Amino acid sequence: MNLLFFGVVLAYLLILMAVSIVKSFAVKNQEDFMVAGRSVPTYKLVATLLCTWIGSGGLLAGAGLAARVGLSELWMAAGAWVGIILVFFLAGKVRRIAQYTVPDILELRYNKWARVLGTIVIVIAYTTIVGYQFRGGAFVLELVAGIPQWQGVLLTAGFIIIFTAFAGMLSIVSVDIINGAVITIALLVAVPLVFFHLGGTGYVQAELDPQLFSLFGSYNFLWAMGVFLPTLLLLLGESNMYQKFFSAKSEKAAKHAVVWWVSGTIIIETAIATLAILAFSYFNRLDAASPFFLAVENAEQVILHTARFGVEIGIPQVGGLLLICAAVAIITSTGNSFLLAPSTNLTRDIYQRFIAPEAAESRIVLVQRMLVVVLGVAAYLMLTLYDSILAMAFTAYTMIGAGLTPALLAAFLWKRVTTAGGVASIATGMAVTLCITVLNNVLSTPFLDEAYIVLPAAGASVLVLIVVSLLTSPESKEKWGKFYTAD
């Protein structure tokens, strides 16, 4: 155990928890818990959007992929960049509608079955995403304290569940100011330190495979689309993002936040990929008997490994401590947000909509806190179904991208879409993703690699959306008019 690293991680977590406890006293009703009282200013919105998006999927799965294939990994990240740019044109409309959840939007445009199916999609996908945040936290605890991974998973799960249950969105947007600053500073300091310590441009030219810096690496355009489309479609249907737009104090704040969000995301995800490539090229070439050696099968831990042993490649200990805090910030922030979203969906879209529509505000908040715990346990159980974080990420991304995004975007962008078309699209995207995932788990040889599931799933979802809508009668302006109010 490294007592210094463990102490810093523990202190950082205690600070975050203290903020959450303090904010819990400000929660008076469901609007405070779910959407922070619709009062979040631009700078807080930027920080929380950035911290939520760059989770273990980027820190671990994305970094591990970059370490193995090079900058072509950024095709996966670029899906989000393009998605955020497209979201700029929707942010104002989303805030104007002023709902609580994405299924709220689905019922407003389609019907209650769209709400129910959308909720199921979000719960499955987001508990999967929360699950690999637990695994990411376990990696950190194993690295800095020698805690076995299964115990680390439990400790991380306990922290994220308790944190989220205290104050909901109020606590998340508050601590993400701290988290966003730590993440940005740590990565922007680490990359140049490692680059120049290893030898700068001369080292890159002499020691690294040129394919690491080519457009597709050792792959092709089809592979690039296989990793690009899941993140693009996830981003466009990302329930956390819409919930945070609902939290914004105004339409203007929501739109301004998107501009800064895409800039920050491009910088940070490029920094993660660059640091992963440089650090892995050093640690992987060491003798296997070296305590600093990092094997290919452990490539997903390259950023954490760099934080712990960064002195070997030019990062002073204070930089390593900052980088490990950034890792903690990324994992906890994403875990909190992706746990809050499905608990909000189940509370708002199932309990409040169908079970207890007249429930008091205090009971609604209590129910959501209980659901945070239940979903946290479900996320832990999800871990048993997958071997890698990358596989979990692609499955979750595809579930949202194919099951939710086509119908959601059609609500804002295609007046001709019908209720039948929207509902059929959600059901089809979800069903195809689930069927292929189940086949992959039961067959000795996977039916289809996780990176490619999005192609048949999203393709079928879009096709059904268009065909069913065109085969059914157009709907009145009363049904779609609110989605097309002039900006």
- pLDDT score for 414: 92
Identify the band that residue 97 occupies on the pLDDT scale cut at 50, 70 and 90.
Answer: low
41 has pLDDT over 60: yes
- pLDDT score for 277: 96
Percent of the residues in the chain that have a pLDDT greater than 90, as a whole number: 50
Which pTM does this prediction carry? 0.83
What are the tens digits of pLDDT across the range 266-292?
Answer: 999 999 999 999 999 999 999 999 999
Residues contacting 439, CB < 8 A, separation 6+ = 446, 447, 448
Q: Which residues, in sequence order, are bridge partners of residue 248?
A: 40
**The two structure tokens encoding residue 307:** 């934080």
100 has pLDDT over 70: no
CATH code of 3-390, in short, is 1.20.1730.10
Q: Which residue has the higher pLDDT, 396 or 34?
A: 396
- pLDDT score for 191: 96
Torsion of CA 45, 49, 51, 52, to 10 degrees: 130
- pLDDT score for 239: 78
Residue 472 one-letter amino acid = T
Residues contacting 158, CB < 8 A, separation 6+ = none
Give the residue-averaged pLDDT of 292-299.
93
Q: Residue 216: helix, strand or coil by DSSP?
A: coil
194 has pLDDT over 90: yes
What are the tens digits of pLDDT across the range 324-347?
Answer: 999 999 898 889 888 988 998 899
List alpha helices for 220-250, DSSP H. Answer: 221-236, 239-247
Candidates 226, 194, 231; CA nearest to 69 is: 226
Give the residue-averaged pLDDT of 160-176.
86
Domain residue ranges in the chain: 3-390
Identify the band that residue 230 occupies on the pLDDT scale cut at 50, 70 and 90.
Answer: confident
Tell me the CA end-to-end span of the chain in Å, nearest whole number: 57
- pLDDT score for 486: 55
